[in-house]
Amino acid sequence: MKKLINSFIILLLFCSNAFSQFNKNSADIFSGSLNLQILNKQKTDTGNIRFCTDQLLKKQKRLSLFSYQSTAEGEPEAYVFFFMLYLINPILSISDGKGVWGFTKEISMGFGKLGQYRTSVEYSFLDLPENMNIFRAALKYDILLKKNLKYSKFFVKTPVLTVGGGYYTDFDKYGYFPEISFGFSYRDRKNLIYPSLKIRYTFIKDSPDVADISLGLIYGFANPF
C-alpha cells in the first residue's frame, strides 16, 4: 500500500509541473485571439492599425515556431503528458485495505451558461482477477472559482471545484457514491477542457466500500440544443 501511495504522490508532483507549463502556453494562445479583437476596434486609425498588425504578425510568428521553441525548452513533455492523461486516466482504487491500479475514462455533457450543470458516464478498468469492469453514471455541478468572470465567445479559464454523485456497478454488485474534484477548466458554451484530480467514495451493497482517487483530462460538450 505504501508503494502505491508513494507512486501516486510522484504522479501528482509531475502533474503540478505540467499544469504550470500548460497554463503558461495557453495564455499565449488566448492572448493571440484578444489581439485580433484589438485590431478590429482600431480600424479608424491608420497608425494604430499598422502598429497592431506588426505586433500581431510577431505574435503569430512566435506561435508558428512554438513547436520548435518548445523542443528546445523541453515543454513538449507537458503536452505529451496531458495527451496521455486524456487517453488513459490513472485511477487508484482502495477496497478492504487493498489498493489496485487501473485506468478510467469519463465523457461529460454540460448545460447552463458555461456548462456548469453536467451529466457524465465513466468506464473504469481495474487490475483485478474478476469484476474488473466498472461503470458509473453521475450528476455534477462545477463551482467556478474565478471572481468577476467575464463571459465571451472565447474560452474562459477558471479554477473549478466540482461536487456530484451517482450510480456504480461492476455488473455483479451496485452502489452509490459522492465525489469531489478540483482542477482548471477551459470552457465556452459548447466545449469543456478540464484537467482535474478526483476523489470518490462508493457505498456498495453487501460488499466492502470502495475509495478511489484519479487524475483525468476531461473533454466535454455542452448545450447541444
Mean pLDDT by 10 residues, the chain (225 residues): 50 48 47 49 53 56 44 53 70 92 92 92 90 93 88 82 97 95 91 93 94 90 86
Q: Angle CA(76)–CA(195)–CA(118) in degrees, nearest 5?
A: 150
DSSP line for 101-150: EEEEEEEEEEESTTS-EEEEEEEEEE--SS--EEEEEEEEEEEE--TTPP
The pLDDT, as a whole number, for residue 34 is: 45
Sorted by where each begins, the domain ranges of the chain are 2-81, 88-222
The pLDDT, as a whole number, for residue 114 is: 87
The pLDDT, as a whole number, for residue 33 is: 47
From the options 1.20.5, 2.40.160, 1.20.1300, 3.40.390, give the CATH code of 88-222.
2.40.160
> What grid cell was written down for 74?
523541453
pTM for this predicted structure: 0.63
The pLDDT, as a whole number, for residue 66 is: 43
Task: Give the chain's count of helices (H) and strands (E).
Answer: 4, 8
The pLDDT, as a whole number, for residue 27 is: 45
